[in-house]
Amino acid sequence: MSIVILRVAALLYACATTAYIVYFARPRHARLATVGASLLSAAFLVHGVAIGVGCAEFGGSEFFSLRGGVALMVFLAAGGYLAVQRFYRLPTLGAFITPFILVLLVPALFGTPGNPELPPETLRRPSLTLHIMTAVGGVAIFAIAFGAAVMYLLQEREMKGKKFGALFSRLPSLDALDRLNQRLVRTGFAVWSIALVTGALERPFAIGDDL
């Protein structure tokens, strides 16, 4: 059931991606940015339902597989972008983030969910849950920073080449992108540091399980 709900979320992600790309190509249609944000919010909520149903079906074991990890990262990246959009109002960033989200999610739509090889007691450790969430969350934040960095490089090339054309007018200023990227990288580094610490705490348990 969770895979069906996830496919519905993927369809909404695809619609949001289309709206953002068309808005980037036609910035005069400002309503498309609002439509894209609304569709992305709907996709995020449906994706959350899919994760909840998946947890009920498999007890969280699917997040220990590559497929489940990617699906969780996409969910956190979408939520992270929605949070960034709330504070920075950079709708053109959606044209760079949502396609990346959609491409990553496609492989997760196929295959068998769950990972029955993991013992149930392993999944109940709070430190392991925190480790997984922060590790995947850190990667999701860095993914958003990557999108902002690509925009920065494109805008910088436009300015250095003195090409003030359509791309220049559609991209945010270098100052705004630089501030956003710095904050994203710092936040991602902090979250990833928590993942490293909790991973180190989990190491003795992993050795005990192997014995």
pLDDT at 39: 95
Q: Which among 146, 53, 163 is positioned nearest to 100, based on CA atoms?
A: 146
Cα angle vertex 8, ends 110, 58, to 5°?
55
| Section 141-169 average pLDDT | 83
Tokens in use for 2? 């969770």
Question: Do 195 and 135 contact (CB within 8 A), yes or no?
Answer: yes
| Section 72-95 average pLDDT | 89
Segment 43-78, tens digit of pLDDT: 999 999 988 887 777 766 676 677 778 888 899 999
Tokens in use for 196? 């490293």
**Which one is predicted more confidently, 90 or 120?**
90
Does the pTM surpass 0.85? The reply is: no
Rounded to whole angstroms, how far apart are CA atoms 105 and 6?
Answer: 9
Instruction: Indicate if the pLDDT at residue 5 is higher than 80.
Output: yes
